[in-house]
Amino acid sequence: MQSVDATRDALLACARAPAQSEILPLLDIAHRVLARPLVARLDVPPHDNSAMDGYAVRSSELKPGVAFEVSQRLPAGSLPSPLLPASVARIFTGAMLPEGADAVVMQEHTSTLPDGRVMFDDVVRSGLNIRRRGEDITDGSSVLAGGLRLKPAHLGLAASVGVASLPVYTQLRVAVFFTGDELQEPGRPALPGHIYNANRYWLVPALRALGCEVLDLGIVPDRLADTRQLLRDAGQAADVVMTCGGVSVGEEDHVKAAVCAEGELQQWRVAIKPGKPLAFGRVGQADFIGLPGNPVAAWVGFIVLVRDFLRARQGEVLPRWQPQGWLPASFRWPRPDPRREEFLRVRVVPDGTSHVLHAYPQQGSAVLSSCVWSDGLARLQPGQVVEPGTLLPVYGWGAGV
């Protein structure tokens, strides 16, 4: 069996970024991956400006109890004249600072005389309430790195340097289908021996949430010729073909034979529980990934092994894969799997000033309720016995699920 880390490394080593990119308007590219870095061509803010509604002053001139003329009025967007000596300027938040002024006094710290002159409560230091030119971004600096998944804040930052569109990688097309003659779609009556196709209803949205364009091919009849035809078509239409089920050792399995006939197949037994069987290979121009059929095995395999492959395959530069933290277990796990790392579905529960981990009582690989109940996965080494208080690394569910 291959370790979890070695399997992730092998998958990531095959995850090349899309060859093509396209330039699209900012409002159309939330959650897409930036193909090239963005460099600023101006300073933000572009000029020194006021952080408050109040008065722009020469700080060295201010004296409490002395009244000053208001020599100009500066709403945001107006162009100031140099500040006349022994005067102040009425100024509003965001307005450009007049030449000669070096501080802004909030209007709450002033009083206005009936003749319109203004008195100040106190002396002020130079620089008070001024936002400096370039204090956010300087001309020529790097604003966004290539390979970044664009979140709303990134798009706001790009807009702040005046950029209207950005180059993003073309969307990854992922074809998915589900195997097993026992599968039935929800909404139809389940015949004896049938179960509902649960995996389709988390995998398709999870792929979409990761930014993939999904070709959802539904349930495939368990016949070799049909499976081969479908794989051939999917391998031409998609960048990645994914299947669910039929990757274990049973012989009622046409996916394996079909992938071997139409491309190449590598089958791994990964030292992970749940999620041991995983297939990887190629069909036509597309990468192939076969997830196990057991819903929790597929879910955990997808999250631990496959999701980052799909992210990197979209051109995303990934942060190091690591737990969000280590927390003490509140449970006992006396009979660990001696050969596989186990990923237990756990909930993070407040406990005084810290938190502890509760494990879902049924950790079977077909018990999908465990995934809904929990906040993420606790990672156990092969053979690791857990007692209350044992510190375990915790991985939250993370992107897209």
Ligand X SMILES: Nc1nc2c(c(=O)[nH]1)N[C@H]1C(S)=C(S)[C@@H](COP(=O)(O)OP(=O)(O)OC[C@H]3O[C@@H](n4cnc5c(N)ncnc54)[C@H](O)[C@@H]3O)O[C@H]1N2
List the interface residues with ligand X, window 241-280 (CB under 6 A). Answer: 244-250, 274, 276-277
- What does DSSP say about strands 54-57 and 103-106: parallel, antiparallel, or unpaired? antiparallel
Other Cβ atoms within 10 Å of 100 Cβ, number: 17
Contact 131, 56 (CB under 8 A): no
d(CA 55, CA 98): 11
Tell which one of 104, 271, 289, 297 touches ligand X (CB under 6 A).
297
Contact 285, 324 (CB under 8 A): no
As a whole number of Å, the end-to-end CA separation of the chain is 28
> What residue number has its CB nearest to ligand X?
293
Q: Binds 281, which of ligand MOO, ligand X, none (CB < 5 to 8 A, cut-off by type)?
A: none
Please choose, from the candidates 335, 312, 29, the residue with its C-alpha nearest in 3D space to the C-alpha of residue 164.
Answer: 29
Contact between 375 and ligand X by CB under 6 A: the answer reads: no
Helix runs in 248-320, H state only:
254-262, 295-301, 307-313
Contact between 211 and ligand X by CB under 6 A: the answer reads: no
Q: By C-beta, is 292 or 400 nearer to ligand MOO?
A: 292
Q: By C-beta, is 182 or 375 nearer to ligand X?
A: 182
Contact between 365 and ligand MOO by CB under 6 A: the answer reads: yes
Helix runs in 147-197, H state only:
152-160
CA distance readout (Å), 326 to 133, 229, 232, 331, 399 = 43, 48, 45, 15, 20
Query: What residue type is assigned to position 181 of the chain?
Result: D
Contact between 183 and ligand X by CB under 6 A: the answer reads: yes
Please choose, from the candidates 353, 397, 350, the residue with its C-alpha nearest in 3D space to the C-alpha of residue 376.
Answer: 397
d(CA 170, CA 61): 59
Q: Binds 182, which of ligand X, ligand MOO, none (CB < 5 to 8 A, cut-off by type)?
A: ligand X
Contact between 246 and ligand MOO by CB under 6 A: the answer reads: no
Contact 328, 356 (CB under 8 A): yes
Binding range to ligand MOO, per CB under 6 A, among 173-181, 270-278, 324-332, 386-394? 270-278
Query: What residue type is assigned to position 183 of the chain?
Result: L
Q: Binds 215, which of ligand X, ligand MOO, none (CB < 5 to 8 A, cut-off by type)?
A: none
The dihedrals phi and psi of 323, each to the nearest 5 degrees, come to -65, 155
Query: What residue type is assigned to position 107 of the chain?
Result: Q
Closest approach of Cβ 340 to ligand X, in Å?
Answer: 9
Q: Binds 180, which of ligand MOO, ligand X, none (CB < 5 to 8 A, cut-off by type)?
A: ligand X
Binding range to ligand X, per CB under 6 A, among 12-20, 75-83, 226-234, 292-300? 292-300
Closest approach of Cβ 348 to ligand MOO, in Å?
Answer: 24
Query: What residue type is assigned to position 222 of the chain?
Result: D
List the interface residues with ligand MOO, window 281-340 (CB under 6 A). Answer: 292, 294, 297
Q: Binds 315, which of ligand X, ligand MOO, none (CB < 5 to 8 A, cut-off by type)?
A: none
Q: By C-beta, is 243 or 294 nearer to ligand MOO?
A: 294
Q: By C-beta, is 90 or 379 nearer to ligand X?
A: 379
Contact between 227 and ligand X by CB under 6 A: the answer reads: no
Q: Would you call the peptide bond into 18 cis, given omega within 30 degrees of 0 as the criterion?
A: no
What radius of gyration, in Å, describes the C-alpha atoms of the chain? Answer: 30
Closest approach of Cβ 35 to ligand X, in Å?
Answer: 34
Q: By C-beta, is 268 or 309 nearer to ligand MOO?
A: 268
Positions in the binding site for ligand MOO (CB under 6 A): 273-276, 292, 294, 297, 365
Positions in the binding site for ligand X (CB under 6 A): 178, 180, 182-183, 195, 197-200, 244-250, 274, 276-277, 292-295, 297, 365
